[in-house]
Structure 1
Amino acid sequence: MGAGDTLTLWGLAVLILPGVMSRDWNVRYPKKPVCAARGSTVVIPCGYDYQEGNKVDKFMWCHNQNYCTDAPYVCHSNNMNVSSQYSGRAECLGDKENNCTLRIKNITDADAGVYRFRFITNEERGKWTGQPGVTLKVDGGAPSVDYAERTLCAVRGSTVVVHCRFNHPESYRVESRMWSHNTEDCAGKSYVWQSHKRNISTEYRDRAEVLGNTENKCTLMIKNITDADAGLYRFSFTAGGCELCAQPGVELQVGELKVMVTSSTGKGLLIEGDSVNLTCGSENCSLSQSEFTWFKDNKPITDTLSTIHFNPVSYNHSGNYSCALKGYIGTVSSTLIFHIQSCIYPGFPHYNPMTVILVCLGILLPVLAVTICIMR
């Protein structure tokens, strides 16, 4: 039974309850054709909806079929009746909830065409094939996007740079470029950045910009990072009538700076003579920044590396330490109270030798005078 048949069967119900039955059944494809180069891997983002109360039993993708009702399939949730053309190359990345994303590896010219998604629920009439489908274009020089890193770590209040490059055939004219945040198909309601300054999210306005020209650079810079900026970023562009959503994207993790202590002894008590390191970093992820600003008792010190080495450490190194990314005073960490025990008598306050002598004389001289008087 195809989508047309389903609509026919429900026609009377729709007349009685206008819009209630049909509006909840939908498959969401990319609005423009998807382009892929021969030998590459393409990910076709897809989402679907169905009426509340139904439960999805199985789903499948088909190639150049109007209603996706006949085997063989591109992929099947139960791995049934999969075409030899796609066996081992195509994978249904979606689930039985709302995701119907399709991935095809080692693209060939024969993969070009229209792809449609179909799902079947536990209800007798609960079957749906999404129309009109999505068109895949195959070209030896089709556009592919390169991310320099797949994971980035940023500190609240800092600036993060997501390095990115893209290419396309000379005959393709780039129509638009955009960055999206936490959207599978790069086409959310609003963008992080858009080349025509359209539909830009208010939370990224004046904070996000793309560095470089339109030919092959798509590097994104975001200022004043907040916790809400964490998540997955994807670059996409339209060219030659195609839309490319570059997968898998770049994951941004957001943390806070902290001063962490490590000792050669591995013990909590720090004593003069130990080898001790103070490291400025984040417990959540690994920072790529190389220069830092260090503070001791709220005053800047000369160290600029991520780690301060004390070998050996002395009582004079005791103090309140904090750090920040160089050039970003708003990223200052919480303060670490760094206390080193005296090696003369651990647990007692440390005094320099002259202080010890003066104290001892102050105690011993009166005792000595009294003793002499008694002996006389």
Structure 2
Amino acid sequence: MSPSAGGLVVFLLSVQVIQSQDGWRVNYHQTDVCAAKGSTVKISCDYTYPHGIRYSDIKDRFWFTKEKDGEPVDLRTDSEYSGRVNYTCYSKDCYLIITDVRESDSAEYKFTFMTNKPGEKYTGSPGVTLSVTGFQVQVGRSDSTLFELTCHSSCVLPGHRVYVWYKNEEYFMTGSSLLVSSGSTDRYSCYLGGYWDQRSPAVYGPQRPSVSVSPSAEMLEGGSVTLTCSADANPAASYTWYKEHEDSPRASGQIFTITNFTAEHSGNYYCEAQNEMGRSNSTLRLITSSGKSHAFFCSLTHYIHNPTKEVTHSKRGL
């Protein structure tokens, strides 16, 4: 089964908003627009003006989100919208079309028009609120053995929408949520059907942590040893340091410093990286010999999500 092809995705709340004053009027055809990142958005309005003003008197009409020195800035001149904005007007009906919308396009859009007489202009305010959403995978606990992954957008997408899930960069299934076994090492991402290039960042448990030691050469007893741990994970991992045969952690955070290092500090230390998807750890052995302290990677053992599944790597010295 293959994902559907790309297309136009625009979601409108069809409630008209009419802004008027003394015969001047702007009628917005929707109040809020929610659109998927990368889609094309169309915002529409119609306008009227007092009797005595002719259509030929209208000098300019445009859409804006910003003002400079108290004057609206035409979107067509805004560098952030360069090449992505088009206006279409039929008589008194005007449309704003924005292609390849970005999350930074989320704003309030207003329509203004002016005549050939100085100072004779009107802006419909408030305007239309555009919310551009990307997609994120939210991780929740279903029970002790399952996680629930949900494809989430920052604004409400009304109607029936098809969400597509990828597992390890391959199409997996459709649905707004997904149950995953605790202990899975796979990577999951989602997107709204038709927008495969707008996929969410993948979520996954911590990969085997990398542990480094500083200084890495010989040092005299009484010095300091700094251990640093890092692991590829999304959501970001938290870190805890343990010493073998001790129940309580020695430290939390990526960096663990042992000051005044002595023979009593010798032993196996391990860093555990953990996020909502699982956990993983690496073990480092610190040895004191002949009055001097040496830091060695004597073994690297990692547990991915499932503490009963052990994989031991070859010895490597620093």
User: Structure 1 or 2: larger strand share?
Assistant: 2
TM-score (norm 1): 0.37
Higher Rg: 1
Structure with a larger share of its residues in helix: 1
